[in-house]
Chain A
Amino acid sequence: MDSVYNVIELIGTSEQSWEGAAAAAVTEASKTLRDLRVAEVIEQDLLIEDGNVVLYRTKIRLSFKHESGE
């Protein structure tokens, strides 16, 4: 059977790591989405204050099965 997937992008943040930031995004998405399959890291950056890294940000691309509602 043919399938269709939705693809969305999310940005998660963490004070500890990019892994934490990615996990935050996936955790939030899994609250409202079913059948999450693959999360792909597409961008990472960080915020700096007084020469110190204060926040890690990870942008992920999530795909999940499209449900037509039939």
Chain B
Amino acid sequence: MSQLLTGRVDKVIQIVAVSPVSWEAAAQNAVTVAAKSIRDLTSASVVEQDLSLANGAPLYRIKLQVAFQVDRTRTDAAGVAVQVRRFLIVANQTLANAELSQFVSSKLADRRAEFHVIVPQRVPSVLHADPATGLIGPSAHSMVTESRQAAREEGELRLASFRGALGDMGHAVTGEVMFGDPATAVRSVLSRSSFDEIIVSTLPVGVSRWLKLDLPSRLERACNLPVTTVVQDEPS
């Protein structure tokens, strides 16, 4: 009833997270991830808790439910209610280009837009199992873990310099590094947050792997949102 009166609509999602320490630590992990893309997260309720044993060591698992506002009403500097448009940017190498940061800062200047950036990184090369045992060796595991870590750091660095290029407005932009197929990454973000438009920032045709994969039209079909493709050269 109160929703009808105020016109406010909330989106409700569930998140599962684990911790080897405690359910509290697992809950904090879930909240940390969710807070990257959801504004004004103020509470979460516990839906389910369980415990799995991996080689005798307990792993605490928790399922949380969070609710957040989907409406686009914000208050501007003068205290007037304004409607914002939410953009989801998919960018990796072109994050460093001036065109993208200029576009974002022009939209941010009048506080009518909000941005979340996802930096998709490729999952390190597929593991090959030992043909004799069918098992994946521990050395292969640690190599993948290391290259994943390196890819994450590279992505975080690009994100940080993108925010840096926006100056004071940089902290108004949220972002995260994600692994795997960019379309899957976008769908996963859309399942826990809502946006009005997707911007794919990529290298020119011929160089761009995403354009070769036809990412923009795949996103348009899969997400039912307008997709703008920004083609940029690599920064010289």
Interface positions of A (Cβ within 8 A of B): 16-18, 43-53, 56
Contact = CB atoms under 8 A, between A and B. Distances in A.
A50 B43 CA distance: 11
Contacts of A45: 43-46
Contacts of B42: 47-49
B27 interface: yes
Contacts of A53: 24, 27-28, 31
B45 A48 contact: no
A47 B31 CA distance: 10
Contacts of B36: 51
A49 B22 CA distance: 20
B205 interface: no
B99 to A, nearest CB: 30
Given A43-B46, A44-B45, 11 more contacts: A18-B24, A45-B45, A48-B31, A48-B35, A48-B41, A51-B31, A51-B36, A51-B41, A52-B28, A53-B27, A56-B24
Q: Is the interface of A mostly helix, strand, loop or mixed?
A: strand
Interface of B: 22-24, 27-28, 31-32, 35-36, 41-46, 49, 64
Nearest to B40: A48
A49 B49 CA distance: 22
Nearest to B43: A47
Contacts of A51: 31-32, 35-36, 41
Contacts of B28: 52-53
Contact of A46 (B22, B32, B35, B43): B43
A45 B24 CA distance: 11
A18 B28 CA distance: 13
B44 A46 contact: yes
A-B pairs with the 8 shortest C-beta distances?
A51-B35, A45-B45, A44-B46, A48-B41, A17-B24, A53-B28, A47-B43, A46-B44
Contacts of A43: 45-46
Contacts of A47: 42-43
A44 B62 CA distance: 11
Contacts of A49: 42
B61 to A, nearest CB: 14
Which residue, B22, B27, B35, B36, has most C-beta atoms of chain A within 10 A?
B27
Of B23, B24, B32, B36, most buried by chain A (CB within 10 Å of CB) is B24
20 contacts: A16-B24, A17-B22, A18-B23, A18-B46, A44-B46, A44-B49, A45-B43, A45-B44, A45-B45, A46-B31, A46-B44, A46-B45, A47-B42, A47-B43, A48-B31, A48-B41, A50-B35, A51-B31, A51-B41, A53-B31
Nearest to B32: A51
